[in-house]
């Protein structure tokens, strides 16, 4: 009988990955970041462990929202008190704090428990092209290798 492989905590190695968000849709950037944070790109992926890498998202101010989302999409938060609903359009968020838009998009794609919170601590989002993590020797993430003629691996 063959058993399912489960990674042990001492087998997990973490790298630093850079995602350049300039000119790319917000959702595409967020899904790549969430995939790297979870560790789904690794052969040792285990659902109940944090096997992912550290992710640096650069150029958050240059991320695009497709269609009319910039004017129509609204970010909601509630204080917990009656009448405490606060609404902010994404046009305002992208003008004032674009890092928050990317951060929230990635947060929504991770597990909503203590494991997801641990994964989210490995995410760094920066407005421009600079970052203070050169000492970690981050690698530029190009995405999954695709064959342009026929999809993945054909």
Measured between alpha carbons, how far is 15 from 21 in angstroms, rounded to an integer? 19
| Rounded Cα distance, 29 and 106, in Å | 8
40 is written with which tokens? Answer: 């789904």
Identify the CA nearest to 63 among candidates 145, 114, 132, 126.
126
Check if the beta carbon of residue 123 is closer than 8 Å to that of residue 55.
yes
pLDDT (tens digit, 0 to 9) for every residue of the chain, 154 residues total?
888 889 998 999 999 999 999 999 999 999 999 999 999 999 999 999 999 999 999 999 999 999 999 999 999 999 999 999 999 999 999 999 999 999 999 999 999 999 999 999 999 999 999 999 999 999 999 876 544 454 454 4
The neighbour count for residue 81, using CB atoms within 10 Å, is 7
Q: Are 63 and 126 in contact (CB under 8 A)?
A: no
**Which residues does 154 contact at the CB level (< 8 Å), separation at least 6?**
147
Provide the pLDDT for residue 149.
52
List beta partners, residue 87.
76
pLDDT attached to residue 5: 87
Domains in the chain, ordered, with CATH? 14-65+96-140 (3.90.1180.10)
């Amino acid at each position: 009988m063959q058993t399912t492989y489960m990674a042990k905590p001492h087998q997990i190695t973490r790298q630093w990955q850079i995602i350049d968000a300039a000119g790319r849709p917000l959702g595409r950037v967020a899904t790549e970041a969430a995939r790297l944070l979870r560790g789904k790109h690794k052969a040792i992926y285990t659902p109940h462990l944090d096997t992912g890498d550290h992710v640096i998202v650069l150029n958050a101010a240059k991320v695009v929202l497709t269609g009319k989302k910039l004017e129509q999409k609204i970010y909601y938060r509630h204080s917990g008190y009656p009448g405490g609903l606060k609404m902010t359009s994404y046009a305002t968020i992208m003008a004032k704090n674009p890092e928050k838009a990317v951060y929230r998009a990635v947060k929504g794609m991770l597990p909503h428990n203590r494991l997801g919170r641990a994964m989210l601590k490995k995410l760094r989002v920066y407005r421009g092209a600079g970052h203070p993590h050169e000492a970690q020797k981050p690698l530029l993430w190009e995405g999954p290798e695709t064959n342009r003629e026929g999809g993945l691996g054909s």
